[in-house]
Amino acid sequence: MANLWQKLTHHDGNGWWNLPHGPSNELNPPHEGPIGGAWFGNLWQTLTHGGVSHAGAGFYWLVGFLLAVVTLLEVWLFTVEGLGGWYIPILLILSVAKFVGVVAYFMHLRFDHRMFTYFFASAMIIGILIFTIILFVAEHAHQKPLF
């Protein structure tokens, strides 16, 4: 607690919200990558030649293939009857997976400086929060009919 406090308030604290100093080719530590935990980071570490952004054409083909598969899966789900209430959540999860795939690998966020992730993620977080609130409010915030 005291540490956190100091990080937040210190004159020259290198607190977590202080912005990074290093040059852009400094790697994210694998266990601290913005997406996925340690196991995920390690797995992709192997696949991506140690997490450098020049991952190789083969890697991009692989990601592209997986994205294509997910898209096919989505379209197939559309034809499947009887998913009921599961349909929308499954689709949302799949599209989030595609979204993350493109952002993390095609847009290099996974390998790039964390500052870029902060930029994009903060907008995503604020956007998702407020627009979810708006959907909720528009759907449910009405006055109780008195007669």
Partner 1 sequence: MTQAAATEHHEPVENTSTGLNSRKLMMWAFLGSDVMFFGAFIATYLVYRGKSLVGPYPSEILDIPLTSVSTFVLLMSSLAMVLGLHYVKEGQKNKGTIWILVVVVLGAIFMGFQFYEFREFAHEGLTPRTNIFGTTFFILTGIHGAHVTIGVAWMAFMAYGSHTGALRKDNALDLEIAGLYWHFVDIVWIVIFTVIYLISATDGPPPGVGPTILH
Partner 2 sequence: MTTKSLKFPQAFPRPKSATGIWSWIGTVDHKRIGTMYGIVSFIWFLVGGLEALLMRAQLASAENDLIGPEAFNQLFTMHGTTMVFLVIMPLSAAFFNWLIPLQIGARDVAFPRLNALSFWIFLFGSILINFSWVTGDAPNGGWFGYAPNSGTTFNPGLGMTYWVVGLNVLGVASIAAGLNFIVTILNMRAPGMDMFKIPIFTWMTLITSVLIVLAMPVLAVAGIQLMTDRVYGTHFFNSLGGGDPVMWQHIFWLFGHPEVYILILPAMGIVSEVLPTFARKPLFGYPFVVFAGAVIAFMGWFVWSHHMFTVGLGPAANTAFSISTMLIAVPTGVKIFNWLGTLWGGNIRLNTPMLFSISFIAMFTIGGLSGVMHASPPTDAQQQDTYFIVAHFHYVLVGGALLGIFSGIYFWWPKFTGYFLNEKLGIANWALMMIGFNLQFAPMHWLGMDGMPRRIYTYAENMGWEGSNLAASIGGLILGIGILVFIFNVFYSKMNKVMAGDDPWDGRTLEWATSSPPPVHDFDVIPQVQYRDDFWFKKYPETISEYYHDDHDQAVPSGAQLDDEVEEALPVVSGGSDDHGHGAIHLPDMSYYPFILSVGIAILGAGFITNTYVVGAGVPFILWGLLGWSMEPVNDPE
Partner 3 sequence: MHRVSKLSFPLRPALFLLVPMAIALLAACTPENNQSTFGTAGPIAKDQADLFNFIFWIAAVVFILVEGAIIYISVRYRRRSDSDKLPHQTHGNDRLEITWTIIPVLILAVIAVPTLTGIWEQQNGVPDDQGEVLNVEAIGHQWWFEFRYPNHEVVTSNELHIPVNRPVAFKLESQDVIHSFWVPKIAGKVDMVPLNDNYMWMIGDEVGEYYGQCAEFCGIAHAHMRFRVIVHTEEDFQAWITGMHTAPDAPVAGSPEASGKNLFAANCSSCHSSDTTSPGSYAREVTSQQARWNGWISDIENSGIVSAPNLTNFGQHTTIGAGLKDLNQASLEQWITDPSSIKIGTRMQKHAAVYDTADGTAKLSPAEVSDIATYLLSLKPGSAPAGAVADAGGDVDGADVFAANCTSCHSTGDNTVVGPGLAGVGDRAGSRVDGMDATMYLKESLTDPGSYIVDGFPAVMPEMGHLGTESIEALVTYLKTLK
Residues that bind partner 1 (CB under 8 A): 19-26, 54, 56-57, 60-61, 63-64, 67-68, 71, 74-75, 77-78, 87-88, 91-92, 94-95, 98-99, 102-103, 105-108, 113, 115-116, 119-120, 122-124, 126-128, 130-131, 134-135, 138-139
Q: Which amino acid does the sequence have at 43?
A: L
111 with 55: CB under 8 angstroms? yes
- Max Cα-Cα span within the chain: 68
Q: How far apart are CA 35 and CA 88, in angstroms?
A: 23
Report the residue number, 84 or 145, with the smaller CB distance to partner 3: 145
C-alpha distances (whole Å) from 101 to each of 67, 78, 86, 105, 140 are: 7, 21, 22, 6, 34
Q: How far apart are CA 145 and CA 93, in angstroms?
A: 37
144 part of the interface to partner 2, by CB under 8 A: yes
- Residue 4 Cβ vs partner 2, minimum distance, rounded to whole Å: 10
* Distance between start and end Cα atoms, the chain: 54
- Site residues (vs partner 3, CB under 8 A): 5, 9, 11, 142-147
Q: Which one of residues 1, 138, 139, 147 is an interface residue with partner 2 (CB under 8 A)?
A: 138
Q: How many residues bind partner 2 (CB under 8 A)?
A: 30
Instruction: Give contact residues for partner 2 (rule: CB under 8 A).
Output: 3, 6-14, 18-19, 21-23, 115, 123, 126-127, 129-130, 133-134, 137-138, 140-144
